[in-house]
Amino acid sequence: MILLDTNVLVYGVNADAPQHSSSQAVIQAAFDRHILAAVVPQILLEFLAVVTSPRRVIRPLDAAEAWEQVEILRVNLPVLGLEPEALTILGELVLAHRPAGRGIFDLFLAAQMRTHGIRTICTYNGSDFDRLRDVEALTPEEALADAS
């Protein structure tokens, strides 16, 4: 099982992004169950925030369009719940890695991955996870190649 990161979902709905076709392909492969993939609520919320922000995307979606995309993701992908243990793991990661600012969100994703036994994240920001020895980051292209 892999976790699909926010940026992959954003590029998947943003036809203007150079990463669109690869992102769309990995999302479709997950929808079709050719790749076992899931998301967590944090990723869906981040997705909603990004696709509605004119500072983050050239053509933002309005709230209704963005929520429709969230619903499509929710219907087609497993949405894993937040386990209370994730906060304990997050605390350990914070003490070990001392994140600043937005770095906390990647550590929280890693904590949630651990609670669900997921070791791989599909992302274009693999370097954000380099410091975590138990997380493997794959681009959509790599995830698709692994599934072949």
Q: What is the pLDDT of residue 53?
A: 95
Q: What is the pLDDT of residue 25?
A: 97
Q: What is the pLDDT of residue 148?
A: 78
Q: What is the pLDDT of residue 132?
A: 93
Whether the CB-CB separation of 25 and 9 falls below 8 Å is answered with: no
Q: Estimate to the nearest angstrom the gap between the alpha carbon of 100 and the chain centroid.
A: 20
Whether the CB-CB separation of 105 and 113 falls below 8 Å is answered with: no
Tokens 């929520």 sit on residue: 67
CA distances from 97 to 48, 81, 91, 106, 136 (A): 28, 25, 10, 11, 17
SS3 93: helix
- CATH no. of 2-147: 3.40.50.1010
The residues of the chain scoring below 70 in pLDDT are: none
Predicted structure pTM score: 0.95
CA distances from 116 to 2, 39, 40, 52, 108 (A): 10, 11, 10, 29, 13
CA distances from 136 to 1, 42, 54, 130 (A): 12, 19, 31, 8
Q: What is the pLDDT of residue 147?
A: 85
| Cα 13 from Cα 72, distance rounded (Å) | 11
User: What DSSP element (H or E) covers 121?
Assistant: strand 120-122
